[in-house]
Chains A and B, each alone.
Chain A
């Protein structure tokens, strides 16, 4: 019996030593990713338009396309790991994945366990009107006095329905639901609606493109706010590398382009 215990103890000790050296050559996670030539990124592909799967099972969405570009610029292949949203932080914390992009908002509680990159997108709501709009919108609730357009099924649609239509300040027949924001923008230009509620970034892009429109209010009502990529705690090199790429993509207008593609069309 004693001999068996000694053997077990030695095996345990050996496995601990082995697992301790297992980590090996790479100095940090960024090095390890570059050495392996692949970055493992977790997402919860059930949150369109940020991340979802199409009918053939391919991942699509704003976050998906953005991360593909980031991996490209890191010079590595991208390997997706799909998990329920609840499991993602645990997976990053335990280093099962190198990063996670899933429309994460910064919170202090999360920051204690993992690290965030800089925000890659600030999801805000905006009210767009025609340049000759005569009314005033001091508070978001003031839009109830006008004919309001919104994209069907978006967080803005939910906000208007729950906050203005439900209590009767905005009559149902004055809320116009569109399939695409660019169509709604055209109706705004033509005067069929007076105010359009949409995502801020694509609203800016479309208003500039179409002309004769201005944004009178922007802020977080139904929107997600700033969104960040999640990486394991203390991986400063990886954080810095991704932050630099995010900065480039913002400067080049790449992210604005994605926002128009996914939040307005």
Chain B
């Protein structure tokens, strides 16, 4: 019975690994697209909007299949782990872009105007005035996206990456005890999501500005 649990628990490292690739990758890409959408010219603005619309409209599993079965091996060579993690990161970047765009807009145009008025360049204003405020505002909705990506990471099992849920499925078939197997998986996911959200709450609390109660 103990090896039963340890077999499922071993999938945790893979689940965390996929999330640790997908989330930061999505953050960098999403932040870039959010900035482009907010401060870019007409063409950049439109392309960023199209990017977000397209990616949020396609089921993640379809992107996974495209990247692994169609592109990988022809254009680039990706292992199932990387193909899966990067696809999830790309999907997540569209959602993170919208979160960050909302935060940028929430900071308001006045801050930008004021920064420019004291002689900062546009880039300086974004870097030193707008972004520090926007990123703080983005933490609570971003923690939502973090738990979604953590749970969506189970999709990589479609490519044969043996993460938590796939292992639970196998043991459910072997032992005929689906409640035990899926219950174990649910417990691990809960602990991971709980820990992530508490950590982000703490970060949000620690970095709070006196001007934003």
Question: Are B69 and A55 within 8 A (Cβ)?
Answer: no
Partner of B158, one of A56, A83, A96: A83
Say yes or no for B173: interface residue by CB 8 A criterion.
Answer: yes
Contacts of A153 in B (CB 8 A): 176
Question: Are B157 and A84 within 8 A (Cβ)?
Answer: yes
Question: Are A55 and B173 within 8 A (Cβ)?
Answer: no
Say yes or no for A113: interface residue by CB 8 A criterion.
Answer: no
Partner of B160, one of A42, A53, A55, A56: A42
Give the Cβ gap from A71 to chain B, nearest Cβ, in Å.
18
The number of chain B residues touching the other chain, given as a range, is 20 to 34
Given contacts A56-B3, A57-B7, A83-B160, A95 and B73 within 8 Å (CB-CB):
yes
Say yes or no for B10: interface residue by CB 8 A criterion.
Answer: yes
Complex interface residues of chain A between 35 and 87 (CB less than 8 A to chain B): 42, 45-48, 52-57, 81-84, 86-87
| Complex Cα–Cα for A45 and B162 (A) | 11
Question: Are B75 and A94 within 8 A (Cβ)?
Answer: no
Complex interface residues of chain B between 64 and 113 (CB less than 8 A to chain A): 65, 68-70, 73-75
With an 8 Å Cβ cutoff, the count of chain A residues facing the other chain is 26
Closest residue on chain A to residue B157 by CB atoms = A84
Closest residue on chain A to residue B162 by CB atoms = A82
Say yes or no for B196: interface residue by CB 8 A criterion.
Answer: no
Given contacts A83-B160, A90-B69, A95-B73, A56 and B166 within 8 Å (CB-CB):
no
Partner of A48, one of B73, B169, B173: B173
Partner of A90, one of B1, B65, B169, B173: B65
Give the Cβ gap from A13 to chain B, nearest Cβ, in Å.
13
Q: Mark B152-190, 1 if CB is under 8 A from A, else 0.
A: 000001111010001101111111100000000000000
Say yes or no for B4: interface residue by CB 8 A criterion.
Answer: yes
| Complex Cα–Cα for A93 and B174 (A) | 28
| Complex Cα–Cα for A201 and B171 (A) | 28
Say yes or no for A19: interface residue by CB 8 A criterion.
Answer: yes
Q: Mark A183-201, 1 if CB is under 8 A from B, else 0.
A: 0000000000000000000
Given contacts A46-B170, A47-B173, A82 and B160 within 8 Å (CB-CB):
yes
Give the Cβ gap from A217 to chain B, nearest Cβ, in Å.
29
Say yes or no for A91: interface residue by CB 8 A criterion.
Answer: yes
